[in-house]
Structure 1
Amino acid sequence: MKDFYLDKFQYTFDKNQEMIAYLCENESLLNEKIHFLISHILNAHEIWMTRILKVPTQFGVWQLQEYSNMTKIDKENFDLTKQILESKDLNEKVDYKTSTGEFYSNVLHELLFHVVNHSSYHRAQINSELKSLGLKPLITDYVFYKRQ
């Protein structure tokens, strides 16, 4: 099952990198919502990985990131994820506190799936915004990715 998650996080990383590059190329044409959404994808990924690793997070959930830093942040997130996949049992229970201060427990693989799904969801929202601005949306579907 670790190979399954490594594949999904490689997809997430590759599509995030593609999206970040496209957004950087078109930064002057973008709206604030796109900036918030791509920042949120990166922030949430980091927050979930640090919760799993029980280390302090660097970012707030809706903290705006500089476009120039996003590639690096995404790479660091992917590296943290690979560290977790290499060192943790996917059926391990993870206790954590949310950004609103509530305590929960989930199995690790549930949290990992959430991060992949969350990233895909918000990339789709970004694509919708791009289209509304007259920009070409990126193809970020998993099945298209696997055809390459």
Structure 2
Amino acid sequence: MYEHLNWANQRILETLQSIGDENQDVFRLFSHILLAEKVWITRLQGLDSSMDSSRLPIWSDVDIEVCTELVIQNEESLTTFLTNLANTDLDKLISYTNSKGKEFKNSVRDVLTHIALHGQYHRGQINSRLRAEGIEPVNIDFITFVR
């Protein structure tokens, strides 16, 4: 799932790099995916505790250069995290505070599932907006990835 996530992010990034920054809504959605991934990675690493990741913006107007850096950073961080993850770690609970200051606990497994699904949802929104602008949507289907 995470190899697909990284592949899909890279494909969206390449398309956005080629079209310029005329459609700010598309860039805002893409940066949201990447910023949210960064927040969740921070939480998985145990660096949250209501100070760090809850203060990271998840909706922000960032340019394509920042998105490029986030794609690279998130892929490296997720790869490192998953490489060091044992099966027994999947059911461990992590505590975190969301952007509204509310505390939650979820399993590592549930957070990892959320990260994978959240990005796919918003990449679909990006593709819908690209099509509306007359731009060919990016094929990010999982089956295309595995082929």
TM-score (norm 2): 0.88
Per-residue deviation, 1:80: 1.3
Is residue 144 from structure 1 mapped to residue 144 from structure 2 by the alignment? yes
C-alpha contact (below 8 Å) 2:7/2:145 kept by paired residues:
no
Partner of 1:52: 44
1:69-108 maps to which residues of 2 (within 5 A)? Answer: 69-88=66-85, 89-108=89-108
Identity of aligned residues (%): 27
Partner of 2:34: 42
1:23 and 2:33 equivalent? no
Instruction: Choose which of 63, 67, 90 in structure 1 pairs with 2:64.
Output: 67
Q: Which runs of 4+ in 1 moved over 6 A?
A: none
Quote the offset at 1:87 in angstroms. Answer: 2.9
Aligned mates of 1:69, 1:82 — CA distance in 2: 20
Q: Distance in 1 between matches of 2:43 and 2:137?
A: 32
What is aligned with 1:117?
Answer: 117
Judge conservation of contact 1:24–1:68 (CA < 8 Å) in 2.
no
Partners of 2:62 and 2:39 in 1: how far apart?
14
> How many residues get paired?
139
Q: For 1:40, give the aligned amino acid.
A: H
Deviations 1:25-63 (A, max 9, x none): 1014x4221011001000000000101112234830101
Q: Is there any run of 5+ residues in structure 1 with no aligned partner, and where?
A: 1-7
Task: Tell me the TM-score normalised to structure 1 length.
Answer: 0.88
Name the CA shift for 1:64/1:97 in 2 (closer, same or farther; >3 Å): same
Where structure 2 has 5 or more consecutive residues not aligned to the other structure, the ranges are none
